[in-house]
Amino acid sequence: MTPDQYCQEKAAQSGSSFYYSFLFLPPERRRAITALYALCRQLDDTVDEASDASVARLKLAWWRTEIERLFDGKPEHPVTRALAPHLVACGITRDRLLEIVDGMEMDLDQTRYLDYPALQRYCRRAAGVVGELSAGIFGYADARTLDYADRLGLAFQLTNIIRDVGDDARKGRIYLPVNELQQFDVKAADILNGRYSDNFSALMRFQCERARRAYREALALLPPEDRRPQRPGLMMAAIYHALLDEIERSGYQVLHQRISLTPLRKFWLAWKTYVTGGRALWRQIGS
């Protein structure tokens, strides 16, 4: 199996919404984004699948060393070997890749966030920097597109947090800020034990509106000349925004289940965004 095949298999197995936007890219850019995504999955799995935090730290330390080897021209892992040919052309930097590792380490160090600014710092490392790297792979002419990509990464991560409240609680993590739990009078024990309430629904409504605002802000930051090359990110936005709709329609029933879209619907949303250049998305989100 070649490094590219390894990354392709990793991406396909995940069933992620991101995978559907990769299908519409030219081959070289598709290989680059698939390798980046596979690296993020490897790092994420290192934390999520480790039963011992000390083992996860050792593995993340290995990945730090592997990223250094990547930029020294001596990568060993299939994922970094697949990423190596794209570093210069796509503006992939050592600092940004190491920042992603920093985000994974935060999951080992923290299970709660006091307020939204603290959560934003986590989202920057876990998703905003990935958005910037992805924007470089897709291509852009205006540097302001990186601001759009960072904000879109925030929107994606906020959506993930909303969708995964129950799953994360079963791992002992609550990403919803402590002061907002207090504001809506929702106890951490209620989330950890899967107890729904009117207060919980109000809290989640607040979270969803903040995520929607992040999508609107991201679209407003995207320069018109970069809308075409950045269509893959817009496809992901269409899928993730539709996921927020589903969560709201469910009455925020996220404590006992992981709400998702069908593969067919994801593909349809990606295709529609691609062929319309995101016009429907602008009408839906940008309004």
String of DSSP letters for 62-89: HHHHHHHHHHTT---SHHHHHHGGGTTT
Pair (136, 99) in one structural domain:
no
Distance CA(93)–CA(133), nearest Å, equals 8
Q: Structure tokens of 9?
A: 């298999």
φ/ψ of 175, rounded to 5, equals: -85, -20
Pair (43, 178) in one structural domain:
no
Pair (4, 101) in one structural domain:
yes
Q: How confident is the model at residue 208, as a pLDDT?
A: 97
Question: Which of these three, 82, 109, 136, is where a domain ends?
Answer: 109
Q: How confident is the model at residue 37, as a pLDDT?
A: 93
| Greatest Cα-to-Cα distance within the chain, rounded to the nearest angstrom | 55
Q: How confident is the model at residue 11, as a pLDDT?
A: 81
92 neighbors 83 (Cβ within 8 angstroms): yes
Pair (166, 85) in one structural domain:
no
Question: Which of these three, 68, 89, 109, is where a domain ends?
Answer: 109
Residues 6+ apart with CB under 8 A from 240: 17, 155, 156, 159, 215
Cβ neighbourhood burial of 49 (10 Å; 0-12, 13-18, 19+)? exposed
CA distances from 217 to 53, 83, 152, 285 (A): 36, 30, 8, 10
Q: Structure tokens of 52?
A: 């011992």
Pair (267, 255) in one structural domain:
yes
SS3 175: coil
Pair (59, 8) in one structural domain:
yes
pTM above 0.85?
yes
Q: Of 7, 5, 157, nearest to 80 (Cα)? A: 7
Pair (91, 128) in one structural domain:
no
Question: Which of these three, 109, 135, 158, is where a domain ends?
Answer: 109
Give the H/E segment covering residue 171.
Answer: none
* Domains identified in the chain, total number: 2
Q: How confident is the model at residue 14, as a pLDDT?
A: 64
Pair (172, 187) in one structural domain:
yes
Pair (117, 250) in one structural domain:
yes
What is the span of the domain harbouring residue 148? 110-287
Q: Of 136, 139, 135, 137, nearest to 149 (Cα)? A: 135
Cβ neighbourhood burial of 211 (10 Å; 0-12, 13-18, 19+)? buried
φ/ψ of 52, rounded to 5, equals: -125, 120
Q: How confident is the model at residue 161, as a pLDDT?
A: 97
Pair (98, 182) in one structural domain:
no
Pair (2, 105) in one structural domain:
yes
18 alpha carbon, distance to own chain's centre: 9
Alpha carbons within 13 angstroms on the beta-carbon side of residue 86 total 24
For residue 88, give the CATH number of its domain. Answer: 1.10.600.10
- Residue 115's region, left for phi above 0, alpha for psi from -120 to 50, else beta, is beta
Pair (137, 275) in one structural domain:
yes
Per-residue pLDDT of the chain (287 residues; tens, 9 = 90+): 899 999 988 887 766 667 777 878 899 999 999 999 999 999 988 887 777 888 899 999 999 999 999 999 999 999 999 999 999 999 999 999 999 999 999 988 888 999 999 999 999 999 999 999 999 999 999 999 999 999 999 999 999 999 999 999 998 899 999 999 999 999 999 999 999 999 999 999 999 999 999 999 999 999 999 999 999 999 999 999 999 999 999 999 999 999 999 988 988 988 888 887 767 677 777 65
Q: How confident is the model at residue 287, as a pLDDT?
A: 54
Q: Which amino acid is at 65?
A: T
Residues 6+ apart with CB under 8 A from 271: 24
